[in-house]
Amino acid sequence: MSWFLLLLQTSLRNIFSSFLNVVIGLIILAGTFFFVVGGSLVDSMDKAMSRSIIGSVAGNCQVYEASSQDSPAIFDNWQIPDLDPIPDFSKIKGPLMSDPNVSAVVPEGVNTAIVVYGNTIDQVLEKLRKAVSPGTRQPQAVVDSLKAHVRQMVSVIQADMGKVNQVAATGAFDPQAGEDLKKASSDEFWNGFDRDPFNHLEFLENKIAYLIPDSDQIFLSYVGTDLDAYRKAFDRMEIVDGQMVPPGHRGLLLSKYVYEEMFKLKSAHRLDQIHEALTEKNKKIAKDPDLQDLVKQNRLETREIVLQLDPLSSQKAVSILQATLNSKETGLSELLSVFFDTDDSNFEARYKVFYDQLAPLVELYRLKPGELLTIKAYTKSGSVEAVNVKVYGTFQFKGLEKSGLAGGLSLMDLMSFRDLYGYVTPDKIAETKSLEKAAGVTFVPRDQAEADLFGGSASSDVEQGQQKAINDKAEMGGGAKVQRVDLTQQVYSQDEIDKGVVMGAAILLKDPSRLKETLKSLQDTCDKDGLDLKVIDWQKAAGNLGQFVFVAKAILYFATFIIFVVALVIINNAVVMATLQRVREIGTMRAIGARKSFVLSMVLTETVVLGLVFGTAGSALGSAFVVFLNHAGIPAANEFLYFFFSGPRLYPLLNSGSLVGAFIVVLVVTCVSALYPATMATRVSPIEAMASDE
């Protein structure tokens, strides 16, 4: 015991006796520091990410049809995996729920669709049409205001075309268009409007509207799910605008990220982006080319705002801008260009003016909660399915608010999803066949048959109807092919929702730490019941993103491994050199009666004690740094990090595993690196002690 104390004492005292020891110590200190900090970071990142992924869509595991070519890849937004459908969810729900560790089974499927959004002028013309139509007649003041708005738009197009014509070669535009515009801007045309509104409207719709090509196609990725079950099972989802889809209803919840990106007034969205970069990321317009680009786009693309404003609002906007800019300019477009030409000194003031004064004049979002959206998707068979879905609101995944990687997903009710997916089960086909026979029908177009089977909501004529405004798509389709019911009011029972096709299901566990066993037992259950399902964990189901965590971890551990291998070599060399410097001392010990084993343990103990002392220091510093980071937070510099951090900042927690790991690694590294020098030291002969000084 006292012998060991002697070893320890000698070791401790030896630590600062040699410069080499200090070098070794600093390497260990740095190594443990990075190990503790890195380990805590990766662990916190892993936890944050898995929490986000599991709690947003993936669940702890996912099941899908075993015969599928691909496996689920939830966050690979634009690559929809080739999955075979599970014909009847109600048949798999029970068996899966029977596992004692399963708390919920939520049907899910990812798909993409196109949302076609009409022209601004189309929308105004629609309003005007309604305002003059018998059933929805509005006071003359409203009609006049709408008329003025349309007239304003016509003059905007005229001015635009004039500009382009100066630059472009003559004949770039159809001369007939010029004629039409002239007609549409004439007093004569507008004076005659009230007498024969519908003919005038027709002219505007057919000859003028297409000249303002600002219609948009938006690609929408969405998860079709039982929204009520989803809401209960996934805690990361939170409603931002509007409300949750009422129980049993059809409906769409747009991802807030997509809503901002795609549905917000472009100029406003760009202002938001600049504002965020300046206030949250400490960037400067003067130094950042991306921000300069946004400013430039805002300066050049003022038309979206100009078109939105009727003459009265235009006048208001002009006076606001004149006052703000201290300008005598009267052109709205010109004023906006100057207004949006911001730099670091005036940006925040203009940002405030924009939202306080200009925003109330325009529609910031071209779609508001409560409105209908027409969504078209290509079915597996290649035909186009379209459904009108009411947008109830927007939502975000807590922690992934700003991540485009995760924020691309919207949420749709399962019924609409099935309509858009356009899958017909074999027994349904049989059923249709027999119905057809009974009704004496000889030919039903395929898309119509599908639509009928899925509740008759699909309207296959959206293709031709693209130019029309969408909010009355349901009426506009006409009853010729598909019988129309107002499906937004329809309430489905749990049974109806469950009985039917799903692409897969997310499974939530009561005890997530028992993921591995549960995966296995679930797979066993599926195999035993002949369900033909495959069960995979969330990491796999998340697609590439799930793999990123794994890769990040692997990189970190590999880097640590390399650092410690390098440290091992350096420490080994340093201890060899330190031992060589102590040949006399070791020889003396041997001469006065120290056995080889003593020398061996002495060198080993010394290196290990050295490692532990500096390792403790490194761990302490590392822990302190992690605690500091926990208070300060690490800002996510880019969107990629944003996803890893599951938020704008990562607040890492000290990971006890990393601490323990650091000590184990230090022990192993120091022992291994001291082994050779220690055996070398045992070979020092006691004669060395006798040698006189040189």
Q: How far apart are CA 33 and CA 41, in angstroms?
A: 12
Q: Does 595 interact with other proteins (rule: CB under 8 A)?
A: yes
**Binding residue for other proteins (CB under 8 A) from 326, 592, 631, 638?**
592
Q: How far apart are CA 588 and CA 584, in angstroms?
A: 6
- Smallest gap, in angstroms, from Cβ of residue 550 to other proteins? 48
Amino acid type, 672: V
- Which one of 8-16, 94-102, 385-393, 671-679 is the stretch in contact with other proteins (CB under 8 A)? 8-16
**Binding residue for other proteins (CB under 8 A) from 404, 512, 635, 686?**
686
- Between the CA of residue 210 and those of 113, 204, 206, 535, 577, what are the distances in Å? 24, 9, 7, 51, 84
**Binding residue for other proteins (CB under 8 A) from 355, 378, 598, 651?**
598
DSSP one-letter string for 567-607: HHHHHHHHHHHHHHHTHHHHHHHHHTT--HHHHHHHHHHHH
- Please identify, using beta-carbon distances, which residue of 568 and 600 lies nearer to other proteins: 600
- Which one of 425-433, 537-545, 607-615, 681-689 is the stretch in contact with other proteins (CB under 8 A)? 681-689
- Please identify, using beta-carbon distances, which residue of 415 and 586 lies nearer to other proteins: 586
CB 587 within 8 A of CB 684: yes
Q: Does 591 interact with other proteins (rule: CB under 8 A)?
A: yes
Residue 152: is it exposed, middle or buried by C-beta count within 10 angstroms (0-12/13-18/19+)? buried
The three-class DSSP label of residue 611 is helix
Q: Does 692 interact with other proteins (rule: CB under 8 A)?
A: yes
- Please identify, using beta-carbon distances, which residue of 279 and 685 lies nearer to other proteins: 685
Residue 649: is it exposed, middle or buried by C-beta count within 10 angstroms (0-12/13-18/19+)? middle
Q: Does 605 interact with other proteins (rule: CB under 8 A)?
A: no
- For Cα atoms 92, 228, 455, give the angle at the middle one, nearest 5 degrees: 75
Q: Does 2 interact with other proteins (rule: CB under 8 A)?
A: yes
Residues binding other proteins: number (CB under 8 A): 27
* Structure-token pair, residue 207: 């000859």
CB 556 within 8 A of CB 42: yes
Q: Does 3 interact with other proteins (rule: CB under 8 A)?
A: yes
- Please identify, using beta-carbon distances, which residue of 1 and 438 lies nearer to other proteins: 1
**Binding residue for other proteins (CB under 8 A) from 444, 594, 620, 641?**
594
Q: Does 588 interact with other proteins (rule: CB under 8 A)?
A: yes
- Smallest gap, in angstroms, from Cβ of residue 596 to other proteins? 7
Taking phi over 0 as left and psi of -120 to 50 as alpha, with beta for the rest, 171 belongs to left
Footprint of other proteins on residues 136-195 (CB under 8 A)?
A: none
CB 608 within 8 A of CB 9: no
Q: How many CA atoms lie within 13 A of 256 on its CB side?
A: 16
- Please identify, using beta-carbon distances, which residue of 11 and 572 lies nearer to other proteins: 11
Residues 13-42: x/- map of binding to other proteins (CB under 8 A)? xx--x-------------------------
Residues 548-587: x/- map of binding to other proteins (CB under 8 A)? ------------------------------------xx--
Q: Does 685 interact with other proteins (rule: CB under 8 A)?
A: yes
Q: Does 593 interact with other proteins (rule: CB under 8 A)?
A: yes
The three-class DSSP label of residue 425 is coil
> Applying CB under 8 A, which residues contact other proteins?
2-3, 6, 9-10, 13-14, 17, 584-585, 588-596, 598, 685-687, 689-690, 692-693
